[in-house]
Homo-oligomer: A and B are copies of this chain.
Amino acid sequence: MPKKRILPYVLLGLINNKGSLSGYQISQEFKNEVGDFWHASHSQIYPELGRMKDDGWLKDHDEDKSTFYTLTTEGHQILRTWMQEPLDDNEELFSLKLYFIKDESDPLLNTLLKEELQIKQTKLDYLQGRLQTVFDTENKIKDNYGHYLILTRAIERESNHINWLKNKL
């Protein structure tokens, strides 16, 4: 199966968040925090917006030398469906989807948090298992100290994330 494309959904989500955006504004968005978990260059954005309009996900209108895009009804549906698709072990996707939730009372918020908690718990278990099998003696730690460090770091990282998730649930 071909690799799942995310860019169109990112654009859908970003435009939906602001109501309406131009290609240029989207590329500016990626220079702020959105850029921490997703990025696209203008040479990707403009053609993609064109395709999405052709597919009926977006409608556009010109104003002040810019072309602004807004979601169509179909676009809203497609975004909604994508938002409800199960997460995988990819923190960027989790952040992205969270970013697209505007209202604290959106029931999707809790679904996302629970799903992410499940995934991270599984990962933490896996990492702790690795730590015990790979570093069962002091000597193995000494001989692969860097590896030991990043493994323990990864465990602390996941624990921290899990605690945060539990706190928000």
- Copies of this chain held together in the complex: 2
Q: A147 an interface residue at 8 Å Cβ cutoff?
A: yes
Q: Inside 8 A of A161's CB, which chain B residues have their CB? A: 157
| A104-B145 Cα distance, complex, nearest whole Å | 6
Mask of A97-121 contacts with B, CB within 8 angstroms, 1/0: 1111111101001000000000000
Q: A1 an interface residue at 8 Å Cβ cutoff?
A: no
Q: A41 an interface residue at 8 Å Cβ cutoff?
A: no
Q: Inside 8 A of A137's CB, which chain B residues have their CB? A: none
Q: Inside 8 A of A32's CB, which chain B residues have their CB? A: 130
Which residues of A106-160 are within 8 A (CB) of B?
106, 109, 127, 130, 134, 142-147, 149-151, 153-154, 156-157, 160
3 closest A-B pairs (Cβ-Cβ)?
Answer: A101-B146, A98-B146, A104-B145
Chain A residues proximal to chain B, CB less than 8 Å: 17, 32-33, 36-37, 95, 97-104, 106, 109, 127, 130, 134, 142-147, 149-151, 153-154, 156-157, 160-161, 164, 168
The 30 sampled A-B contact pairs (Cβ below 8 Å) are A32-B130, A33-B127, A33-B147, A33-B150, A36-B154, A37-B150, A95-B150, A95-B153, A95-B154, A97-B146, A98-B147, A98-B150, A99-B146, A99-B150, A100-B146, A101-B145, A101-B146, A102-B143, A103-B142, A103-B145, A104-B142, A104-B145, A109-B145, A109-B146, A149-B168, A153-B164, A156-B160, A156-B164, A157-B160, A160-B160
